[in-house]
Amino acid sequence: MSIPGAIAVYTSGSGVPEHVSHRPWRGVDHWWDGSPTGLGQHLMERVRHEQGDIQAVVRQLIDEAPWGWTNCMQQPKETAGERHTEQDPGPRVAPDETGLVAYIYVFDLEARRLDAFSTYVGDDGRRIGSVVFSPTGTPDLPALDLLPEEAVTEPLLPGEELSPQALQGWLEGFPALETGATLMHWVETQECPDHSLSITFRVVTFEEEEVTQVVEQDWNAVPHSARLEPERVRHFLEALVEVVSEDLTRLDPFWISSLDSLRRSGARQRESFAKIMRAHLARD
């Protein structure tokens, strides 16, 4: 998903700016999925993986990649990624030069904070959120663009660890998501190296009984922690089916694969997940 972003660090000043140009910073571009749910979440995970060493993250992603990135979002331990080169550099980004990126993420080393700014047309560089990291790398919020509906924590629903096979069985038992022209098919589930569960699904579009488009998505939907609460996962997926079934124009593979409520929120009930999804739709 080519939503361009930028990774930056403040060079002077202090405080939390409300606009991307209110404090000086330096940074590099990042071409692939610069959204808060993509690059924004990855930067938070980088700090967590480096156990709070924000300077190490800045060194890896800015100092050691002066020409920018196509995609740095490999597993956190893999810092090579796909970099631009001196022969093929990415676009320049600066406080007065933000027109080619949609989001900018700026680290404040002294405050141990990450600020996120939206430079989409209409947002004009406003700050959309910030997180502060503990000395060991834990952020004070689970996301940079948390909605009010996501700021909920409900009682735990512990159970036996959810397996890929059980998850696949649930998916196949849900009501079909289809219109006369579009069909969604749950392809498979897999356990990832970090013990999360990934769901592969396919959305097929027809026109006069001929296939006109096939989109297959890998959705890293279930973090390892959520696997220990199988009913929570089931409620999340049931809410997805409910919300999409209300209006099948929502059968958008990119929107579905962007849903990350099991990481972003402490919600555990179907009604809470449905409220969060409807809030995201209203915002989009």
Residue 109 in tokens: 């080393």
Query: Rounded mean pLDDT of 142-160?
Result: 93
Domain housing 253 = 164-283
* Stated pTM of the model: 0.75
Strands (E), the chain: 5-10, 25-30, 69-71, 82-83, 103-108, 113-118, 126-132, 182-191, 197-207, 210-222
Inform me whether the pLDDT recorded for 197 exceeds 90. yes
Please state, for a pLDDT cut of 90, what percent of the chain lies above it.
75
CB 46 within 8 A of CB 154: no
Q: Is the pLDDT of residue 213 over 70?
A: yes
Overall number of domains in the chain = 2
Compute the distance between CA of residue 73 and CA of residue 61 in angstroms, rounded to an integer: 10
Neighbours of 215 (CB within 10 A): 14
User: Does 156 reside within a domain?
Assistant: no
- pLDDT band at 164; cut points 50, 70, 90: very high
Residue 124: pLDDT over 90: no
The answer to whether position 121 is within a domain reads yes
Let me know whether 216 and 111 are in one domain.
Answer: no
Residues 7-27 have a mean pLDDT of: 97
Residue 54 has pLDDT above 50, yes or no: yes
User: In 10 A of CB 156, how many CB atoms?
Assistant: 12
Please say if the pLDDT value at position 74 is more than 70: no
Give CA–CA dist 1/92, Å, rounded: 20
121 phi, psi to nearest 5 deg: -60, 130
Q: What does the pLDDT average to over 138-145?
A: 92
Q: Concatenate the DSSP letters of all residues of 147-204 into one string.
A: -GGG--B------SPPPHHHHHHHHHHSPP-B-SSEEEEEEEEEE-TTS-EEEEEEEE
Average pLDDT value for residue range 23-29:
97
Q: Tokens 């919300």: give the residue.
A: 243
The band of 194, judged by pLDDT with boundaries at 50, 70 and 90, is confident
Assess whether 175 and 279 both reside in one domain. Answer: yes
- Rounded to 5°, angle at Cα 107 from 102 and 109: 170
The answer to whether residue 159 sits within a structural domain is no
Q: Pairing between strand 197-207 and 182-191?
A: antiparallel
- Is pLDDT of 1 > 80? no
Region 26-53: mean pLDDT is: 93
Is the domain of 219 the same as that of 266?
yes
Does pLDDT of 184 surpass 90? yes
Q: Is 111 within 8 Å of 14 (Cβ atoms)? A: yes
The answer to which of 58-62, 143-147, 204-208 has the lowest mean pLDDT is: 204-208
What's the confidence (pLDDT) of residue 73?
84
Which three-class secondary structure state does DSSP give residue 104?
Answer: strand
Contacts of 112 (CB under 8 A, 6+ apart): 52, 54, 132, 133, 134, 135
From the CB of residue 111, how many other CB atoms can be counted at a distance below 10 Å? 16
Residues 99 and 66 in one domain: yes
199 and 139 inside one domain:
no
Tell whether 78 is covered by a domain: yes
- Please tell me whether residue 48 adopts helix, strand or coil conformation: helix
* The token pair that represents 77 in the structure block: 């331990």
